[in-house]
Structure 1
Amino acid sequence: MSAYMAGEPDTAAEALDWQGRPLRCQDCPHEDIHAEGRCDLGKICVADRRRKRIDRFFSQNAALAARYLDHPYFEVRALAAKHASVFLLTPLKDDPEPDVRVVAAARLPLARIRDMRFDPEARVRIALAERMEGNDLVALLGDSDYQVRIAAARRAPPDALVYLMHDPETDVRRVVARRLPQGHLARMVNDDDPLVRVVVAEHLEPERLAPLVADPDMRVRFVVAERIDPRFLPALAEDSVPPVAEVARQRLAPTS
């Protein structure tokens, strides 16, 4: 049994096309490649409705992908786009299915996809954010979808992230805190969410951590006790939370 079949209930008896009709090799235009093992009903088939079977077909027959870029079934178009020449993909920027447009955004040259930042589907805009660089990413920092802003924040120039320091989403601000330059990061010590302040405590220079010594969240104080300049450790050595105090006392103890 081949590796891709292990654990899968794939059988020819389950071979249905995207409209639910039974498949027969006699009706297939690729019957000639069946003998070469490059297609197999119920396992490797471009006419099947199952994504894995279609993907296997194009993996075995990449040269045929161009024929299927306008297929009525969106899964076929999306998987064909993964293998077809990039020079044929521009029309797919306007495909009605987001899955297809995501592939176009992931493969087309950057100069061809900048206008896709206005795509209505967040997944498409995320695909752009994961490829764009520098100033091209700045526009996506203000995207309406927080997942797009996260993707953009991970790659945007650090100085541009000041626009997201007060983002309404905690996950966005955590990404920002990991990448902000020190001068701007110090302004996030009063963030409303302790999970953000933990990231700030992990990345801020030790001599800048003093404002977090009395943070109301013990997770923040614990990180501070591990990293802060030793001059500020005495206060943490008296912390009401034993693990925090213990870390501070260990760091204050003279080394032999």
Structure 2
Amino acid sequence: MTSDQGQAGVGKLGLCSGCSHYPDFLNACRCSPGDACIRAHSGRQIDRFLRQNRDEAEKYLADIFWERRAIAARYAPIDTIYRLKADPDEVVRRVVATRLPVEQLDGMIGDRDREVRLSVATRLPEALLVRMVDDDDYLIRATVARRLPHGQLAKLARDSEREVRKVVASRLPPFALHMLAGDPEPEVRAIVAERALPGLAATLLDDPEWWVRLAAVSNAPLEFLPPLTEDPEVEVREAAQARLAESEAA
């Protein structure tokens, strides 16, 4: 016996001894010790085994090893993974949140794991999204803001986090942007100025931050622009001058 054969024998003994799939799966090339093995403590090997043997996945949904349960949840029939919505491991619940039918996600809205709630917020039907506007994590609220129907965006217009309000400013209908025109953050006001109707844009030409004024130049009525041709910031001056010159040439 060569040294390579001896090592292979030891490896097979350690991985296959006592396995219910041995030797049938090995002989049928449905598994491979060290590469595709359900008993390994390697996510890669477990995944390869279940990818090749999806009909086996359901058997491991109650496995003691969290990673085996999580990988099994990827491949098991959807109607068998409902009970894992309350699995003690967050990785398992994350998999479930990405696979359940959207109408079954409402029970995971308050999950204690941020990534689970993020998956839920990404997939939840719009009609139920309003239930997540008060989530403790601003990334969840920002995700909700990207998907909420326009008529409900006002609920997040006074959010405590700038990044959430920026999303709201980018999605509110132009006629409703006045709600954020006085936002304390110039990044939010700049988004408002870029999308504002002429009347609101004119008020933002007096903003203390130059990049907000610059954003407002393209939407403000022409008659409000002459003072901006003497703005202390060269980019604002040039934008106002260019727009006025363009109107005169038209």
Q: What is the TM-score of this pair, normalised by structure 1?
A: 0.82
Per-residue deviation, 1:36: 5.1
Which amino acid in structure 2 is aligned with residue 255 of structure 1?
A
**Cα distance between partner residues in 2 of 1:24 and 1:212:** 70
Is 2:223 the partner of 1:239?
Answer: no
Per-residue deviation, 1:79: 1.6
What is the correspondence of 1:16-95 to structure 2 with a 5 Å cutoff? Answer: 24-31=15-22, 32-35=24-27, 37-95=29-87
1:120 counterpart residue number = 112
Which of 202-211 and 152-161 deviates more?
202-211
1:199 counterpart residue number = 191
Q: Unmatched 5+ residue regions in structure 2?
A: 1-6
**Cα distance between partner residues in 1 of 2:120 and 2:60:** 24
Deviation track 1:111-151 (CA, whole Å, cap 9, x = no partner) reads: 32212212222222222211122331111011122122112
Kept in 1: contact 2:196–2:219 (CA 8 A): no
Which amino acid in structure 2 is aligned with residue 141 of structure 1?
V
Kept in 2: contact 1:68–1:80 (CA 8 A): yes
Match of 1:183 among 175, 182, 196: 175
Q: 1:43 to 1:243 in 2, by over 3 A?
A: farther
Q: Secondary structure at the match of 2:249?
A: coil
1:107 counterpart residue number = 99
1:155 counterpart residue number = 147
Per-residue deviation, 1:201: 1.9
2:126 counterpart residue number = 134
Kept in 1: contact 2:157–2:165 (CA 8 A): yes
1:250 counterpart residue number = 242
Q: Secondary structure at the match of 2:105?
A: helix
1:6 counterpart residue number = none
Per-residue deviation, 1:218: 2.0
Per-residue deviation, 1:94: 0.9
Q: Secondary structure at the match of 1:216?
A: coil
2:210 counterpart residue number = 218
Higher Cα Rg: structure 1 or 2? 2
Q: 1:209 to 1:50 in 2, by over 3 A?
A: farther
Deviation track 1:63-121 (CA, whole Å, cap 9, x = no partner) reads: 22111111112122112111111100111011001111122222222332212212222
**Cα distance between partner residues in 1 of 2:218 and 2:27:** 66
**Cα distance between partner residues in 2 of 1:186 and 1:44:** 59
Per-residue deviation, 1:188: 0.6
Q: Secondary structure at the match of 2:147?
A: coil
Give the structure with the higher percent helix.
2
Which amino acid in structure 2 is aligned with residue 95 of structure 1?
D
Q: What is the TM-score of this pair, normalised by structure 2?
A: 0.84
Q: 1:194 to 1:30 in 2, by over 3 A?
A: farther
Which of 78-87 and 235-244 deviates more?
235-244
Q: 1:243 to 1:65 in 2, by over 3 A?
A: same
Deviation track 1:169-227 (CA, whole Å, cap 9, x = no partner) reads: 11111111111122321221111111111221222234431121121222222222244
Which of 39-48 and 169-178 deviates more?
39-48
Per-residue deviation, 1:58: 2.6
Kept in 1: contact 2:194–2:218 (CA 8 A): no
**Cα distance between partner residues in 2 of 1:252 and 1:119:** 55
Is 2:162 the partner of 1:170?
Answer: yes
Q: Secondary structure at the match of 2:158?
A: coil
